Amino acid sequence: MKSTITIKSERCKGCGICVAFCPKKVLGLSELGKVQVENGESCIACAQCELRCPDYAIFVDKKEGA
């Protein structure tokens, strides 16, 4: 994995914008309607999810050397 994805679920309203913009289909919505990491190994650390989230609920920390 090229990054660490941190999700602040208490901030997430389940809009799905992050899921829609992820080019590698890393994210999905849980049964409770909150964002979750479903395929973390595919993350390319593009941070589109973080940039598009209207609630500042997702943070992507790129790993050194990745």
Specify the pLDDT at position 26: 97
Look at residue 64 in the predicted model and tell me its pLDDT.
Answer: 74
Q: Which amino acid is residue 54, in one-letter code?
A: P
**pLDDT tens, 17-44?**
999 999 999 999 999 999 999 999 999 9
What CATH number has the domain bearing residue 54? 3.30.70.20
Rg (CA), the chain: 11
| pTM for this prediction | 0.87
Q: Name the residue range of residue 21's domain.
A: 3-62
The answer on pLDDT for 49 being more than 60 is yes
Total domains in the chain come to: 1
